[in-house]
Structure 1
Amino acid sequence: METLESSTQKKVAELERMAEVLVTGEQLRLRLHEEKIIKDRRHHLKTYPNCFVAKELIDWLIDHKETSERETAVKLVQKLLDHSIIHHVCDEHKEFKDAKLFYRFRKDDGTFPMDNEVKVFMRGQRLYEKLMNSESKVLQPREEEGVKYERAFIACDFIQWLTQEGEVVTRSDAEQLCRRLLEHGIIQHVSNKHHFVDSNLLYQFRMNFRRRRRLMELLSERSPLLPENYDSPFCLRKQNHDSKATSFLSVSPTKEIKIISAVRRSSMSSSGSSGYFSSSPTLSSSPPVLCNPKSVLKKSVTPDELLTPGAPYLRKTLTIVGDAVGWGFVVRGSKPCYIQAVDPSGPAAAAGMKSFLSNERDSIHAHLRHVCQFVVCVNGLNVLHVDYKTVSNLILTGPRTIVMEVMEELDL
C-alpha cells in the first residue's frame, strides 16, 4: 500500500510538535509545584492562587541549568505562552517579561483550551499511561523483519484491550478511535505503510510520553521525535550541545515522571573535555566518567563463578529512588550484567553503587581501585542469565524505587 500523503504527514508533524510542547509544559508545571515555585500569592490585597513570578521562574531555570542566559529563558517560556500553556493572571501581557509579574499555568485555573486536537492527544496519553501501568503485555518492544520497535502493539490485541477495559463499546468503535490517534500522530504503523485496521499489523506509539524533556528542545527546529538509543536507558548524556563547557545528565524515562525528587544535578560541572563530566565540587578529586563508555572488562565472569561458595565476591543490596532525570547509572554486559558508570551526584551513587572503568581508563588512573559490581537481582527477580537490554527494560517498566542486589569483588 502507498505511504500516507505528504499533506497528512505535514499535519502529523505539526501535531507532534504541539504534543511535545504540551508534555514539556506539563512536566515543568509538576516540577514547579514540587519545589513551591507555584503557590498562592498576594498583590494589592488580592490573592492569586497557583501563581509563579516571572523573574523567579527565570532564576529557577538558570539555577537548574535549563539555560544559562536570561534572554534564552524568556524565549523558552514565551513558547509556552504562545501555545496557551501559561498566561498572565489578568491576560494583560501577551509577551512574557522578565519582571515581577504573576503568571499561571492554564491547567491550574481550568482555562486550558480543549480543542479537538488536544482532546485526542490527551486521550492518547491517558491510554499510553494506562497500558504502561497495567499488567497487560499489549504494549512492549517488538521486532518485525529484523527491526526492533519500542512501544509497539498488534492492532487486534490493542482493540481487544480497549473493549475489555471499557474504553469503547464495540471493536468498530475501537478501530475508529485508533484511526483518530493515527491521524493525530499519536500512533503509527511501524513502517508508516498502512492506516489503522483491525488486523495482525504492528503499530507503535510515536511518542514516549515519559521521556524527560528539556526546555531547550522547544527552541529546536528539528523533529521532536528524538532517535532512541536502547543501548542503555541510563547513559550519561550531554546537557548542552552548544556550550564549550559541557556537562552530562543521567537521563531516563521514569516510571512516574510526575513524582519529582528534590535531588538535582545543579552541582555538576565541566571537566574541560566534551567526552567527560566531573562530579560535584565535593567529589572533584574523582576520575571523570566516560559518557556511555565502551564495555571492556578485565576478565569475563560467569554466573557460576559469582555464586561459587568461597568466591571472592560480596553480595550487597542497594535501594535506589529515581529522581526526575533517572537513576544515574549505566548497565552493560550479558550473563551477568555489570555497572559500567555512575553519576557521582545521582541517586545510584547515593545508594552505594560504584562504577567500573575500562582498561584504557585504568592505565591512566592505575593508583585508584576500580570496583566492579555485577547485577544479580532487580526487584526480586534473578537477572544473572540475561543481557543488559533485558535488565534495562525491567527497570524502566518497574517502580520508581528499585531494589538491586549486586556482587562486588572483594579487595584481596
Structure 2
Amino acid sequence: MDTFGITVQKRASELEQMAEVLIIGEQLRLRLHEEKLIKDRRHHLKTYPNCFVAKEVIDWLIERKEASDRDTAIKLMQIMNDNSIIHHVCDEYKEFKDLKIFYRFRKDDGTLPLDQEVKVFMRGQRLYEKIMNSENTLLQAREEDSMKYERTFVASEFIDWLILEQEAKTRLEAEQLCRRLLEHAIIQHVANKRHFVDSERLYQFRLNFRRRRRVMELLNERSQRMVESHDSPFCLRKQSHDKSTSFLSVSPTKEIKIVSAVRRSSMSNSNSGGYFANSSTLSSSPPVVMCNPKSVLKRPVTLDELLAPGALYTRKTLTIVSDAVGWGFVVRGDKPCHIQAVDPSGPAAAAGMKICQFVVSVNGLSVLHCDFRTVSNLILTGPRTIVMEVMEELNS
C-alpha cells in the first residue's frame, strides 16, 4: 500500500471506531423508544422528558442477551456515556450508575456535541440513506484495474447525483464534499490508493449504516469487528425469557450444530453451509465456533433444473418485516441461493419461509444469478420490509 493508503487507513481506524459508537448508540436509542423504555418520567414534582431508568436498561440489556452480566452491561453504557451519546439528566454522574436514576440520549434533548467529525458522519449517513431509498442504480458491481468490486459508484456519476439532489451547487463543491467524506472514512477508493477526484475512478461507502449492530460490539477491538459485506447476518434474533430461540438448520445429527442467535463474520465461506455455535445462549466468553459444511439441500440443484419447463417447483411471494434485530433467516449457496436456516420464532418463519427454498428475487430484483453474499448485501442495505419471491419443491 502506498503512503496515501497508509495515512488514510491509520486515520480511518480512529474514525470508524467513532462511527460505530454513533451507529450503535442510535440503534439502541430507537430500540428503547420502540419498547417504551424511553418516555417522560416524573420525579419530585418535576417531569423529565424522553428519559430512561438506568437499572431498567441494564435489566433489558441482559434479558435481550446484549450483555452477559450486569458488569458488562454497565461497561457498555459507560462507553455510551464517555462518548457523549447519553448523559445523566442533571449531569450529576460521570460514571454510569446501575440505579433507579434517569439518563437521556443526547439526541433526544438536542445536546449531542456536533463537532466537525460528527457533522461529516451525519452528512455521510444521510447521503447513504438517500441513495438506498432511491431507485437509482448508482451502486453497482464494477471493475477497476482488472479487479471486480461490489457496490461501487463512479466518482463523476456521484457528483452528478449530488448536484441533481441539490446536495451541492457546483462540481467543485461536490468534489470538496466527497473529499471530506473520504478524509472522514465515510467513503474510500476501492483499492484505497487515491483521494477523491472527479473522474471515472470507483469508490465505495466504507460503512453499511443499515447493518443491525449488537451493543456488545462496543467491546470489540477493530480487528475483531465483523466484516460488513461478507456476512449473511439475518439470524441475529431476540431470545425469549423462558426458552432458547436458537434453531436447527436440519434435523439433528452428529454433523449438525445448533445455530446460535449470534451474528458471525465467519459465516462468509461460500463453499460451506456456515459456521455455527453449539451454545444456544450467549455467555461472557465467545461461543465455540465450528464449521458445518453440510448444506440443508438433499442434493445440488442447478439453475437450469430449477427453471426447466414442467419442473416440480412452485413460486411463493413472502413479505417479511424485520424486528429490531433482524429478519431471522440465513442465505447460502450460489446461482441459485437457498434458505439454509430459519428462526422458528422470527419474522421470516411467520411469513412462511422454510429451509431449502430457493431465492428468486428480492424487492423485485432477480437474484437467481447471484451468490449469497450479494443477496445478503441487497437485503441488508434495503428497507426494513422486504418482498422475496422463493421457489420450493411441490412435495416439500
Distance 1:145 1:327, change over 3 A: farther
Contact kept, 8 Å, 1:331 with 1:338, in 2: the verdict is yes
Match of 2:272 in 1: none
Aligned counterparts of 1:315 and 1:136: Cα–Cα separation in 2: 28
Q: Structure 1: where are the runs of 5+ without partners?
A: 240-244, 253-272, 280-289, 356-371
Match of 2:321 in 1: 321
Query: Pairwise CA RMSD of aligned residues?
Result: 3.2
Aligned counterparts of 1:21 and 1:337: Cα–Cα separation in 2: 33
Match of 1:100 in 2: 100
C-alpha deviation, 1:190, in angstroms: 1.8
Matched to 2:326, the amino acid is G
Aligned counterparts of 1:326 and 1:333: Cα–Cα separation in 2: 20
Residue 375 in structure 1 maps to residue 375 in structure 2: no
Residue 249 of structure 1: which of 262, 266, 274 is its match? 262
Superimposed CA distance per residue, residues 322-362 of structure 1 (whole angstroms, 9 cap, x where no aligned partner): 2232222223334443222212222112222221xxxxxxx
Q: TM-score under structure 2 normalisation?
A: 0.80
Following superposition of structure 1 onto structure 2, how do residues 3-42 of structure 1 map, counting pairs within 5 Å?
Answer: 3-4=3-4, 9-42=9-42
Contact kept, 8 Å, 1:251 with 1:325, in 2: the verdict is no
Residue 140 in structure 1 maps to residue 140 in structure 2: yes
Superimposed CA distance per residue, residues 283-310 of structure 1 (whole angstroms, 9 cap, x where no aligned partner): xxxxxxx977544643344556556676
Aligned counterparts of 2:294 and 2:170: Cα–Cα separation in 1: 51
Distance 1:335 1:214, change over 3 A: closer
Matched to 1:193, the amino acid is K
Superimposed CA distance per residue, residues 353-376 of structure 1 (whole angstroms, 9 cap, x where no aligned partner): 221xxxxxxxxxxxxxxxx32334
Following superposition of structure 1 onto structure 2, how do residues 42-81 of structure 1 map, counting pairs within 5 Å?
Answer: 42-81=42-81
Matched to 1:249, the amino acid is V
C-alpha deviation, 1:48, in angstroms: 0.3
Match of 1:399 in 2: 383
In structure 1, the residue corresponding to 2:166 is in which secondary structure? Answer: coil
Matched to 1:138, the amino acid is L
Contact kept, 8 Å, 1:250 with 1:325, in 2: the verdict is no
Residue 275 in structure 1 maps to residue 277 in structure 2: yes
Match of 1:156 in 2: 156
Aligned counterparts of 1:28 and 1:301: Cα–Cα separation in 2: 41
C-alpha deviation, 1:70, in angstroms: 0.4
Moved more, 149-158 or 216-225: 216-225
Aligned counterparts of 2:160 and 2:90: Cα–Cα separation in 1: 47
Match of 1:369 in 2: none
Aligned counterparts of 1:8 and 1:43: Cα–Cα separation in 2: 49
Match of 1:255 in 2: none
Contact kept, 8 Å, 2:235 with 2:261, in 1: the verdict is no
In structure 1, the residue corresponding to 2:339 is in which secondary structure? Answer: strand
Matched to 1:172, the amino acid is L
Q: How many residues are matched?
A: 360
Contact kept, 8 Å, 1:53 with 1:103, in 2: the verdict is yes
Aligned counterparts of 1:176 and 1:119: Cα–Cα separation in 2: 15
Distance 1:195 1:374, change over 3 A: closer
Matched to 1:90, the amino acid is C
C-alpha deviation, 1:397, in angstroms: 4.7
Match of 2:88 in 1: 88
Match of 1:361 in 2: none
Q: TM-score under structure 1 normalisation?
A: 0.77
Aligned counterparts of 2:331 and 2:8: Cα–Cα separation in 1: 40
In structure 1, the residue corresponding to 2:212 is in which secondary structure? Answer: coil
Matched to 2:70, the amino acid is R
Matched to 1:76, the amino acid is L
Aligned counterparts of 2:365 and 2:69: Cα–Cα separation in 1: 46
Superimposed CA distance per residue, residues 130-185 of structure 1 (whole angstroms, 9 cap, x where no aligned partner): 11112222223434345443442211111111111111111111111111111111
Aligned counterparts of 2:68 and 2:160: Cα–Cα separation in 1: 49
Aligned counterparts of 1:335 and 1:5: Cα–Cα separation in 2: 35
Matched to 1:248, the amino acid is A
In structure 1, the residue corresponding to 2:222 is in which secondary structure? Answer: coil
Distance 1:385 1:183, change over 3 A: closer
Contact kept, 8 Å, 1:153 with 1:202, in 2: the verdict is yes
In structure 1, the residue corresponding to 2:173 is in which secondary structure? Answer: helix
In structure 1, the residue corresponding to 2:118 is in which secondary structure? Answer: helix
Aligned counterparts of 1:329 and 1:162: Cα–Cα separation in 2: 35
User: Identity percentage over the alignment?
Assistant: 74
Match of 1:362 in 2: none
Contact kept, 8 Å, 1:378 with 1:405, in 2: the verdict is yes
Following superposition of structure 1 onto structure 2, how do residues 155-174 of structure 1 map, counting pairs within 5 Å?
Answer: 155-174=155-174
Aligned counterparts of 1:34 and 1:251: Cα–Cα separation in 2: 26
